[in-house]
């Protein structure tokens, strides 16, 4: 079950007698390497305790929108929806399925489902006649039409004593179907990427440096999107303040352009990449002779001799075969198209992702970006202003399309 290793699963447990199986399901998912966070409806707590599921998952269980009414604290349902690679509702009662189909938000679980950006899977559990009722079947079809995957219930003896279809699928089957589902949604499985993200800091002394305002947010969004699609990555990160954790991403922290160059070339020697993506805003120059310690104001020189930094992107692209897809980034303060075309040629890139400070909401310090994919003078794809996550998805689509035409290089 390697496909579940490191996967983030939000498990919704609802008020069915089958809720007792959720303890076994959590254990199966955790044993397979998944990171599980449980959201329970109030009805589910009538059948199994939050303490049990919290202990097995290793995370506190969420069940109410308000955590502490007196203190005014609340459960961030949006964060839960953004955290997960998938929301799995098992068992899913007829009541919860109806709420999902209608778009209701009258429980924490339903609000998580409404705000989730990740795919949703439901495993129904109810009595035979409830499951076969036209209303339930209609609601399930509405969910399927929206892209929700349904794990069909088993047939057998039900809690009512009746025989028929409606039993929650056994935890082992749910785990296997979830793993198979991830395989189907991992088109970049087996491919490897190398990325640079963030700025570099070139020391003037032990405290001061030459740098820029790059946050690394766009590069990180791209790395996470590619990892979600199954790619493994070496991420060479300059000084950024964004925390993330993904088992498919090996992060190497660096500070200077020389550090980034050394780490990038080392990564290529260790694992030949299928794609290189140079999102880092590498400082063009560095002080020739950094001062030791913290210089006092009076000891600071009136001028600083500067030395040209190595071209990190060119250093990477020159070491890999032509079959490796090479993606560069360019930030302009005007239209920037001519500069992007020049950069594509001089850096040995297959495409340039171009954005401009002239576009409101684009560039450093924003959660949005507006880009153009520059393949050549006669082939340019322009996009409207989007979140950086949406830009990452657009670029991942291009990378996936290109790489799907050949097998991995290693």
User: What domains, with CATH codes, occur in the chain?
Assistant: 2-184 (3.40.50.1950), 192-403 (3.40.50.10300)
Q: What is the pLDDT of residue 159?
A: 85
Which of 63, 146, 39 lies closest to 100, judged by CA?
146
The pLDDT of residue 309 is 97
Rounded average pLDDT over 172-197: 93
Q: What is the pLDDT of residue 189?
A: 87
The token pair at 347 is 């850096």
* Both structure tokens of 67: 């955590």
Q: What SS3 string covers the chain?
A: CHHHCCCEEEEEECCCHHHHHHHHHHHHHHHCCCEEEEEECCCHHHCCCHHHHHHHHCCCCECCCEEECCCCEECCHHHHHHHCCEEEEEEECHHHHHHHHHCCCCCHHHHHHHHCCCCEEEEECCCHHHHHCHHHHHHHHHHHHCCCEECCCEEEECCCCCEEEEECCCHHHHHHHHHHHHHHCCCCCCCEEEEEECECCEECCCCCEECCCCCCHHHHHHHHHHHHCCCEEEEEECCCCCCCCCCCEEEEECCCHHHHHHHHHHHHHHCCCCEEEECCECCCEEECCCCCCCCCHHHCCCCCCEEECCCHHHHHHCCCCCCCEEEEEEEECCCCHHHHHHHHHHCCCCEEEEEECCCCCCCCCCCEECEEEEEECCEEEECCCEEHHHHHHHHHHHHHHHHCCCCCCC
* Tokens 């076994």 sit on residue: 24
Which of these is catalytic: 212, 243, 298, 369?
Answer: 212
Q: Is the pTM of this model over 0.85?
A: no
Q: Where does the pLDDT of residue 161 fall: very low under 50, low under 70, confident under 90, or very high at 90 and above?
A: confident
Exposure of 31 by Cβ count < 10 A (0-12 exposed, 13-18 middle, 19+ buried)? exposed
Task: Tell whether the model's pLDDT for residue 177 goes beyond 70.
Answer: yes
For 264, the token pair is 């990038």
Count of C-beta atoms within a 10 Å radius of residue 156: 11
Residue 70 has pLDDT above 70, yes or no: no
The lowest-confidence range among 182-191, 233-242, 369-378 is 182-191
Q: How confident is the model at residue 360 (pLDDT cuts 50, 70, 90)?
A: confident
Average pLDDT of the chain is 92
Res. 66: pLDDT tops 80: no
Give residue 2's pLDDT: 67
Determine whether 212 is an active site residue: yes
Cα–Cα distance measured from residue 198 to residue 46, given in angstroms and rounded to the nearest whole number: 49
- Please state which of the ranges 72-81, 216-225, 256-265, 296-305 shows the lowest mean pLDDT: 72-81
Task: Give Cβ neighbours of residue 285 (< 8 Å, ≥ 6 apart).
Answer: 202, 210, 306, 307, 308, 309
Structure tokens, 306? 């500067």
pLDDT at 81 over 70: yes
């Amino acid at each position: 079950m390697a496909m579940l290793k490191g996967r983030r699963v939000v498990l919704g447990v609802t008020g069915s007698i089958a809720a007792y199986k959720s303890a076994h399901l959590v254990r199966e998912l955790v044993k397979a390497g998944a990171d599980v966070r449980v959201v329970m409806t109030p009805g589910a707590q009538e059948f199994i305790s939050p303490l049990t599921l919290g202990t097995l998952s290793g995370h506190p269980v969420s069940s109410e929108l308000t955590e502490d009414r007196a203190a005014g604290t609340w459960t961030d349902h949006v964060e839960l929806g953004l955290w997960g690679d998938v929301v799995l509702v098992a068992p899913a009662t007829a009541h919860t399925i109806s709420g999902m189909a209608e778009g209701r938000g009258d429980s924490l679980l339903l609000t998580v489902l409404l705000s989730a950006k990740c795919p949703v899977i439901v495993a129904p559990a109810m009595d035979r006649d409830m499951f076969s009722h036209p209303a339930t079947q209609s609601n399930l079809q509405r969910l399927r039409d929206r892209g929700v995957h349904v794990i069909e219930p088993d047939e057998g003896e039900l809690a009512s004593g009746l025989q028929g279809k409606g039993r929650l699928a056994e935890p082992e089957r749910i785990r296997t179907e979830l793993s198979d589902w991830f395989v189907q949604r991992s088109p970049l499985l087996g491919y490897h990427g190398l990325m640079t993200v963030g700025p570099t800091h070139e020391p003037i002394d032990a405290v001061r440096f030459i740098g820029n305002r790059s946050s690394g947010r766009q590069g990180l969004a791209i790395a996470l999107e590619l990892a979600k699609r199954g790619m493994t990555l070496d991420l060479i990160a300059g000084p950024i303040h964004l925390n993330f954790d993904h088992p498919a991403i090996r992060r190497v922290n660096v500070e200077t352009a020389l550090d980034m160059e050394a780490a990038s070339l080392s990564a290529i020697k260790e694992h030949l990449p299928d794609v290189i993506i140079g999102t880092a805003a590498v400082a063009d120059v560095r002080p020739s002779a950094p001062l030791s310690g913290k210089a006092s104001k009076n000891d600071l020189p009136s001028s600083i001799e500067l030395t040209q930094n190595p071209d990190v992107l060119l250093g990477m692209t020159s070491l890999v075969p032509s079959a490796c897809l090479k993606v560069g980034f360019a930030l302009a303060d005007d239209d920037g198209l001519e500069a992007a075309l020049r950069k594509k040629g001089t850096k040995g890139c297959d495409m340039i992702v171009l954005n401009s400070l002239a576009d409101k909401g684009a560039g450093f310090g924003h959660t949005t970006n507006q880009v153009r994919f520059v393949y050549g003078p006669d082939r340019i794809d322009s996009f409207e202003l989007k979140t950086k996550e949406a830009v990452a998805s657009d670029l991942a689509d291009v990378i996936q399309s290109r790489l799907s035409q050949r097998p991995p290089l290693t």
